[in-house]
Amino acid sequence: MENSLAVDYQLQENIGVIRVNNPPVNAMSQAVRMGIKQAVVEAQSDNCQAILLLCEGRTFIAGADIKEFGKPALDPSLSDLLATIEQSRKLIIAAIHGTALGGGFELALTCHYRCAISSAKVGLPEVKLGLLPGAGGTQRASRLAGVEAALDLISNGNPISASKALTLNLIDTILEGDLAEASIAYAQKLVADFAPIKRVSDINIEKDSIPTGFLDDARARFEKRFRGQLALQNIVSCMEAAIELPFDEGLRKERQLFVECMQSDASAAMRHLFFAERSAAKVKALDRSICAREIHTVGIIGGGTMGGGIAMNFANAGIPVILIEVDDCGVNRALKIVERNYGITVSKGKLSEEQKDHCLSLISGTTKYEELGDVDLVIEAVYENLDLKKKIFGRLDEVCRPGTILATNTSYQDIDLIASATGRPEDVIGMHFFSPANVMKLLEVVRGSKTADDVISSAMGVAKIIKKIPVLSGNCYGFIGNRMLRSYVSETQSCLIEGAAPEQIDGVMENFGMAMGPLAVGDLAGLDIGYTARKALSQEKKGAPKTYCIADALVEMGRLGQKSGSGYYLYDPETRGRMNDPEVLTVMQQQAEKLGIIRKPISDEDVLNRLVFSLINEGAKLLEEGIAQRSSDIDVVYVFGYGFPKFRGGPMQYADTVGLKKVCHIIDEFYNQYETPNWECARLLKSLATKELNFSAYT
């Protein structure tokens, strides 16, 4: 009998088989919930001896239906469905393939038995949206796997393999062969063996099985590493409930804490990012009928750390790469960098030796540009010198076949000027990777004024192939990310010379949620990098002396950052732990006196607002100018490229959380106080605040 378009129920011999078919990932929509519930109720009074839950297509139920996010709940709720399943008088078996995630795995955990094929994965990833499993996942996983294993599974949110799930007692058996046939046979065997109905709710957790202080230690660890993230603390509270409370009371406690998370700013921000990441891949006004150019082979100019990292992305995706260097020594050095990076990946257990060898076999090196004659995409990744880049693109124009995409990895150079060195500017595009390129997820795709639509489509598409998050940017100095970074760095230096200490600035931003403060990041990257880049800039682009004089003075003293043992901080040569250094305060005072600046205390609140609101204001200007397609794209750039805390949602989402009227008011106060152009409030920001709108309303 057919119960809904998404769920079918049929008797197969003595087994009642429920089949879910809600492509593409069998999301737990209202229709799926209703269909499963109706089938379970029907099975209670028919001739089946056990019920088997199967899913069609490529996966088991892979989570909630994102179309229902933020909307009023529709009956039956997931909790109602799971109560019906658990109380079934007949055995219910979940047969898992693909991925069983979130509510899908909570459903499987509620079934009386669980089987899976060996390639299946299961998990509870709600924490990645600032949430926790809200339909019994914390209570059931802790009873089956133990509190320690359940806390690890739920707090990191990463899926685990079927074999790992088997060792944790989260599934009962792994099946071979065709899932439908094997799972029906498994169900029939359970019936033949008079297998009892196993309700997870009947399991009690022995308190003495939990190490003393385990949950207190977890709380402290989460608070230190994930400051301000409510979901992690609430997950620990759910573990406490599983230990201390009867099952039904534990469920109520879990639901209460889930709702608390759902209503938090952090979860709203992380859910915003979930949708923002998906929107970023879509190019406005791009004809969907356009055929992207196929990318089967790639050339990379420059085999340094960046070029080698870019090569790894393509090799990991099975795409052959040709690395170009200036001489044989450069080629050998480049290949050794790549091999070393792969070795590190293997040592971390993220790659096997066989996979490493296969990837290395796809990367070759040469000094001859002619070998790029038939590649589909070339990415230039040399250092930031416009004349050198133009020379390289002129050479590529000569040797590459018509239709080859010519991309530059530049961080801030003008794409149109680079394209002007070729006779095919329509084939030229920016593909700005972030360092380390084999690790960082963001890819800024930069369109020039003449870049062809199919080239844009190709660059956005290839980003997905190499598992990057693409964001389209218009062509301006620094594009989206580095243009905004200039404001952030400039304001950091202004705070520094006007009265804040390095440890105050970094402490404020780390308390806000950044993994590292801006000055610690500068020391890690090397202060000489920015110093060298500034030397090549005009005075106009360098900005006011107060925004770089301290950094320049430190470099000229030989304080280059961690690599020299000193920068804004002193560094322990063995641990690289940072320590405050009075000498830096002396440098700051000397530079302030040279510029006639009287240093005075700056509050933590002002430090935070000056740094973060400078990002917001510049982001609004990028939207005004059409450099960024949408405000959420800016958030994606800053979270995945610059370490802006995910639980804040990105600078533009954070502005919406604070309220644009308040943001405008504070920016106006800074403009009145400092009278510098960067604090002139963006017209778009003022307009939205006046209309009582927010950035999310601007599309």
Residue-wise pLDDT for 325-334, tens only, equals: 999 999 999 9
Distance CA 150, CA 329 (A): 51
Residue-wise pLDDT for 396-444, tens only, equals: 999 999 999 999 999 999 999 999 999 999 999 999 999 899 999 999 9
Instruction: Report the share of the chain in percent with pLDDT over 70.
Output: 99
> Residue 520 in contact with residue 578, Cβ under 8 Å?
yes
- Could you tell me the CATH number of the domain that includes residue 527? 1.10.1040.50
Same domain as 303, residue 257 = no
- Domain tally, the chain: 3
Domain-terminating residue out of 473, 490, 517: 473
For 29, residues 6+ apart whose C-beta sits below 8 A from its C-beta are: 6, 22, 65, 67, 68
pLDDT band for position 225 (cuts 50, 70, 90): confident
- What is the average per-residue pLDDT within 205-222? 93
287 located within any domain: no
77 located within any domain: yes
> Which strands, in side-by-side order, build the sheet including 160-161?
99-101, 121-123, 160-161
Same domain as 516, residue 413 = no
Same domain as 417, residue 320 = yes
Catalytic position from the list 42, 56, 68, 126: 126
Is residue 242 pLDDT above 60, yes or no?
yes
Average confidence score pLDDT of the chain: 95
Q: What is the pLDDT of residue 226?
A: 85
- What is the average per-residue pLDDT within 291-314? 95
User: In the chain, what is the straight-line distance between the N-terminal and C-terminal CA atoms, in Å?
Assistant: 46
Amino acid at 567: G
- What is the average per-residue pLDDT within 47-54? 97
Q: What is the pLDDT of residue 536?
A: 79
- Kindly state the DSSP code that residue 64 receives in the 8-state scheme: B
Pick the range with the lowest mean pLDDT from 62-76, 226-240, 288-302, 360-374.
Answer: 62-76
Is residue 3 pLDDT above 70, yes or no?
no
Burial annotation 402-434 (CB, 10 A radius, 16+ → b, else e)? eebbbbbbbbbbbbeebbbbbebbebbbbbbbb
Q: What is the pLDDT of residue 45?
A: 95
What's the chain's length in residues? Answer: 699
- Could you tell me the CATH number of the domain that includes residue 31? 3.90.226.10
Distance CA 440, CA 658 (A): 29
Name the E strands within 512-647. 570-571, 578-579
Burial annotation 73-94 (CB, 10 A radius, 16+ → b, else e)? eeebebbebbbbbbebebbbbb
Residue 126 falls in the annotated catalytic set:
yes
* Structure tokens given for 75: 């009956």
273 located within any domain: no
Same domain as 147, residue 30 = yes
Catalytic position from the list 2, 56, 86, 106: 106
Q: ω before 76 within 30° of 0 (cis)?
A: yes
Residue 503 falls in the annotated catalytic set:
no
Same domain as 428, residue 485 = no
Q: What is the pLDDT of residue 464?
A: 95
Q: What's the sign of the alpha-carbon dihedral 650, 656, 660, 663? A: negative
Is residue 2 pLDDT above 50, yes or no?
no
- What is the average per-residue pLDDT within 499-508? 97
Residue-wise pLDDT for 480-495, tens only, equals: 999 999 999 999 999 9
- What is the average per-residue pLDDT within 331-353? 92
For 69, residues 6+ apart whose C-beta sits below 8 A from its C-beta are: 271, 275
Domain-terminating residue out of 455, 473, 491: 473
Same domain as 680, residue 598 = yes
Domain-terminating residue out of 473, 494, 516: 473
Is residue 1 pLDDT above 50, yes or no?
no
Is residue 642 pLDDT above 90, yes or no?
yes
277 located within any domain: no
CA-only gyration radius of the chain, Å: 28
- What is the domain range of residue 17? 7-262
Alpha helices in 122-161 (DSSP H): 137-145, 147-156
Same domain as 235, residue 169 = yes
Same domain as 455, residue 574 = no
What is the CB-side half-sphere exposure of residue 482 using CA atoms within 13 A?
18
Query: How far is CA 124 from each of CA 70, 151, 233, 605, rounded to the nearest angstrom?
Result: 19, 11, 16, 37
Q: What is the pLDDT of residue 4?
A: 58
279 located within any domain: no
- Could you tell me the CATH number of the domain that includes residue 344? 3.40.50.720
Q: What is the pLDDT of residue 699?
A: 63
